[in-house]
Amino acid sequence: MTSADAVFAWLGVGALLAAVLPRILAGRPLSLPLVFLLCGIGVYLLPLPLPVIDPVDDRVVAEHVTEVVVIISLMGAGLALNRPVGWHRWGATWRLLGVTMPSTFLITGLVAWWLLDWPPAAALLLGAVLAPTDPVLAAEVRVGEPTDDEHDEDEVRFALTSEAGLNDGLAFPLTYAAVALAAAAGSGWSAGWIGPWAAQDLAYKCAVGVLGGLLAGRLLGWLFFRTRSRALRLSQHREGFVALGATFLSYGVTELAGGYGFLAVFVTACAIRGAERAHGYQNVLHDFMEQVERLLTAAVLFLLGAFIALGGLSALTWQGAVTACVVLLVIRPLSGWAGLLRSSLGSRERWVVAAYGVRGIGSLYYLAYALGQHGFAVPERELWAVVTFTVLASVVLHGVTAGPVIARLDRLRDTQSM
C-alpha cells in the first residue's frame, strides 16, 4: 500500500463521516470538529504510511488552505442570517466588535508579554490571532437555515454568528498592527508605525472591504433575482455552486483593490441575503456552502490532529498552556460580558455569548499569514504550539459543552414564553 492509496482511502472515509456524523451527534455532548480532530490524532499515531503534516515548514500551504475554509465559512454565515443589518437589530454584534474584540486583543497581548516573556510584537500577534471567533467549530451556537422571518433567530446564535462573520475580517488590522510593530521596533516598543497603520491598514482597507462587498453583493443579488434575462437570472436554475463563484469573485476583486477580502465576502453574503429574503434560492446557496464548509472544516481539523500527533505541541511550555486557558476561560468571557452590558440580552444569554467565543481555523490562518510577513523574535514552533493548543482546548471545551448548554437555554426560553 502506498501513501497515496492511504490518503485516498481516508479521504473517502472522511467525506462519508462528514455527511453522517452531524445527524448521529445531534443533541449529544460531542461535535463533528472534535471527532475529526481526535481521528487525526488517532490515525497518525498508527504505523501507517501517511504524509507528514507540518504547517511550520509548509506555511504557504497552511495559509492558503485555511484561507479558503475561512472565506467559505464567511459566505455561509452571511447567507444564513435572516435579520437585516441595522444599528439596533445588530446591537449585540456591534458591542462584541467594539468592546469585546479589542479588549480580548489587548489583554491577551499583555498576558503573553508578562507570562510568556515574549517581545511586544509577538505578544500582540498572539492577541490578534486569538481575537476572532469561529462558531463553525460548535454548530449548536450558529444560526440555522435561512427563513423569511427576520425574528426566527434567538439572540445567542445570532450574536455569535454575526460576530464571527465580521471579526474574522476585522482581525486583519490587529494582525497588521503586530506586523508593523515587529518591523518598526523588533523586540522593543515604538509608536512610529501607528499613523500609517491607522490610515492604511485600518481605515482604507476596511472601507474598501465594506464597499467592495456591498457592490459585489448588490450586483450579484440583481443578477440572481432581478435581471430580466431568464438565462442570466441564476435563481431560476437553482445551482448551488454559484455561491462559490460569488465568494471567490468578491474576495479576489476586493483583495486586488487593496481591501480586506474576508470582510467583503461576509458583506457580499449579507447583501445577497437582503436582495430577496423569501426566495427559496437562498436555501440552495446556503445549503451548498454549508456542505462544502463542513467537508473542508473536517479535513482541516483532521490535519490539525495529525500535526498534534506528529509533535505539534512539543514546543508548548506550561506558560503557553496557561495563557491559552486564560484566554478561553477568563479573558473572552469577561470581555464578552463587559461588551454586552446594557444590551437587550438577559443575564443567562449574556454569559453564554461571552463564554462561547470559539477559537478555530481563522486563528490558524492569521498566524500562518503573519509569519510570512515578518519575524517575531519567538521560535515559530512555539507560536504554532500555543495557538494550536488554544484551538484544541476550544474545540474540546466548546464542542463538548455547547450542545447541552444551548439545549438547556432553548428549553428555558420556551418555558418562559409559554
Q: Does residue 100 have a pLDDT over 50?
A: yes
pLDDT at res. 150 = 66
pLDDT tens per residue, range 144-183: 778 776 666 788 888 999 999 999 889 999 999 999 988 8
pLDDT tens per residue, range 54-99: 999 999 999 999 999 999 999 999 998 888 888 988 999 999 999 9
Cα(67)–Cα(15) distance, rounded to whole angstroms? Answer: 20
Query: SS3 helix, strand, coil % of the chain, rounded to 5?
Result: 75, 0, 25
Q: Name the pLDDT band for 363 (thresholds 50, 70, 90).
A: very high
Angle between helices 318-326 and 380-417 (to 10 degrees): 30
**CA of 65: how far to CAs of 127, 222, 244, 256, 335, in Å?**
22, 31, 15, 19, 30
Q: Does residue 188 have a pLDDT over 70?
A: no
Number of neighbours of residue 106 by Cβ within 10 angstroms = 16
Residues of 44-71 as b/e, b for ≥16 C-beta within 10 angstroms? beeeeebeebbbbeebeebbebbbbbbb
Burial of 92 (0-12, 13-18, 19+ CB in 10 A): buried
pLDDT at res. 236 = 75
Q: Name the pLDDT band for 4 (thresholds 50, 70, 90).
A: low
The DSSP output letter for 136 is G
Q: Does residue 1 have a pLDDT over 50?
A: no
Cα(167)–Cα(369) distance, rounded to whole angstroms? Answer: 16
For 400, the grid coordinates are 463538548
Burial of 72 (0-12, 13-18, 19+ CB in 10 A): buried
CA atoms within 13 A on the CB side of 87: 0
Cα(241)–Cα(197) distance, rounded to whole angstroms? Answer: 37
Q: Name the pLDDT band for 227 (thresholds 50, 70, 90).
A: confident
pLDDT tens per residue, range 288-313: 998 898 889 889 999 999 999 999 99
